Amino acid sequence: MKNLYGKSLLSDPALTKSTAFSREEREHYGLRGLLPYEVASIEKQIDRVLDSLRSKTSAIEKYIFLNGLLESNQRLFYRTLIDHIEEILPLVYTPTVGEACKEFAHIFRKPQGFYITPDDRGAIATILKNWPEEDIRVIVVTDGERILGLGDLGANGMGIPIGKVALYVACAGIHPAQCMPVMLDVGTNNIALREDPLYLGFPFPRISGDRYRSLVEEFINAVQVRYPNALIQFEDFLTPHAFEFLERYHHRVRCFNDDIQGTAAVTLAGIYSSCRITGKKFTDLNIMFLGTGSAAGGTAELVVDAFCADGLSRSQAQQRLWFIDRAGLVTATNGNIKPRIQPYAHQYDALSFADAISAIKPDVLIGATGVAGTFTETIVRRMAMVNERPVIIALSNPTSHTECTAEQAYQWSDGRAIFASGSPFDAVQYGNQRYKPAQGNNAYIFPGVGLGVYASSAKLVTQSMFLAAARELARIVTDQELRDGAVYPALTRVREVSHAIAVAVCRVAIDEGLTGSCLPQDLSNHVKLLMYEPNY
């Protein structure tokens, strides 16, 4: 322990054990009289946390309570999250984090993370020295412009990096001191936020163009100097910026975009798993996307890579993917097609969404719209007409923005749908079958990828790493989970998943010549030894 004593030790969230300090420790560290009599085990402390948590009547109250626990006792927070992850992860991250971001300025208690504004131009490298930790391995950064399906939330979007960091620690065991949430607070075009007297962010319209790009460039360069071993995860940038920065930086620095690549990998894993239920060959699938944003575009690119890895040419792979936008089927005759969607704009008749399903007969339907209810009863029933077991993946979150609910998917398909979603849903009873759909949560992917990059000292993050991650995630799903209607493993096994993905990423880094040092032969043990366990 660093040289803390008495009340200072109790107040340090990283070092305190609160009522778990032993009699000897209380004597040694000047804690006698500062704690109640009982020496509590961490298990009893967790029971007390759960009792308080479950007494709260709303998700946002529970979020505030858990955030307070993180600010007061880090190890207890993470131990509770890990041991009760199915209950607590939806409170720490999606769907509750969406509401928390909307209310961020109103529920703010203590500063967490690092803020950069246009006023810091020219000084970012200097102010990064104010962050107290030296060995940063993961930075999660957002500019708050496209928070989940909620749009521009400005500095309130800091809730996203804070939540993602919690998942890096809980799901992959990266030490909290090695993780850093960052907000590039470049203003907001959300007038209601700017006029909110409690808003904490840069209270001006967003900077744009060269002013914006040069600030991002300065941040990236400053990180390379201050934290040369850090992985940068871009999070919730507007789609054009998300692709632009990924294209600009992924050959230069360790970085990836979770909305593009993390979502792609978890979706691909769900597709792989669905083939074990349907019996269809992966390379025979036709896949249709509703939406043309970063999640859909990124997923399409990874699916094409997966098809090619299994023997198709790039042209053949692209022919198996189809896109729907507001006007209907995206074809070669459409105007203003996004460049990344162009390869999937085939020579075909203009059709409505429903008619396109009947004509093309997609095996898999993926929604990435951010618009609730876009998988209507007509759409789901059309999918069920052309497939014995239609695969329906509704990626949008939070829950209020999902394309359809689990219950709707099962009811409208007469219980035949293979359903996955970006938001969590409870089990659904349909007829004699009880379905337990698993959430297609990026927490299955990005923590393990980050751990693998850390473990391998990989110089870059490549598409092959996400392809390997998708394969590992699909491999780990059990036959019983598939019978229950889940194409992902139980969330309780997420650390097992992250370990397996990290080992696979290490192997990719070795194969692609990206490792910074010679790795031990036993990669599994090497990764395991790096994984932080929050115990006293």
pLDDT tens, residue by residue, 65-105: 999 999 999 999 999 999 999 999 999 998 899 999 999 99
Mean pLDDT value across the chain: 96
Query: What per-residue confidence (pLDDT) applies to 165?
Result: 98
Q: What is the dihedral angle through the alpha carbons of 501, 505, 511, 512, rounded to the nearest 10 degrees?
A: 150
**Pairing mode, if any, of strands 321-325 and 364-367?**
unpaired
**Coil, helix or strand at residue 126:** helix
**Pairing mode, if any, of strands 179-184 and 138-142?**
parallel
Percent of the chain with pLDDT over 70: 100
Mean pLDDT in residue range 265-277:
98
Confidence class for position 149, pLDDT limits 50, 70, 90: confident
Mean pLDDT in residue range 525-533:
98
The verdict on whether 93 is a catalytic residue reads yes
Is-same-fold flag (7-71; 91-253)? no
**Residues 282-300: pLDDT tens digits?**
999 999 999 998 899 999 9
Confidence class for position 305, pLDDT limits 50, 70, 90: very high
**Residues 435-480: pLDDT tens digits?**
999 899 999 999 999 999 999 999 999 999 999 999 999 999 999 9
Confidence class for position 518, pLDDT limits 50, 70, 90: confident
**Pairing mode, if any, of strands 287-290 and 231-234?**
unpaired
Quick one: how far is CA 92 from the chain centroid? 12
Q: Is the pLDDT of residue 1 over 70?
A: no
Round to whole Å and give the CA distance between 342 and 169. 38
In the chain, how long is the greatest CA-to-CA distance? 80
Confidence class for position 334, pLDDT limits 50, 70, 90: confident
**In CATH, what number does 91-253 get?**
3.40.50.10380
Q: List the catalytic residue out of 29, 63, 78, 93.
A: 93
Residue 6 and residue 27 in contact, taking contact as beta carbons nearer than 8 Å: no
Query: What per-residue confidence (pLDDT) applies to 507?
Result: 98
Confidence class for position 2, pLDDT limits 50, 70, 90: low
The verdict on whether 164 is a catalytic residue reads yes
User: Which sequence spans correspond to the domains of the chain?
Assistant: 7-71, 91-253
**In CATH, what number does 7-71 get?**
1.20.1370.30
Neighbour tally for 326: CB within 10 Å: 11
Question: Which range has the worst mean pLDDT, 170-174, 183-187, 438-442?
Answer: 438-442
Mean pLDDT in residue range 13-41:
97
Please give the single-letter amino acid code of residue 185: D
Q: List the catalytic residue out of 63, 78, 164, 410.
A: 164
Q: Is the pLDDT of residue 516 over 80?
A: no
Structure-model confidence comparison of residues 370 and 267, the more confident one: 267
Neighbour tally for 172: CB within 10 Å: 28
Residue 335 in tokens? 């105007």
Query: What per-residue confidence (pLDDT) applies to 398?
Result: 79
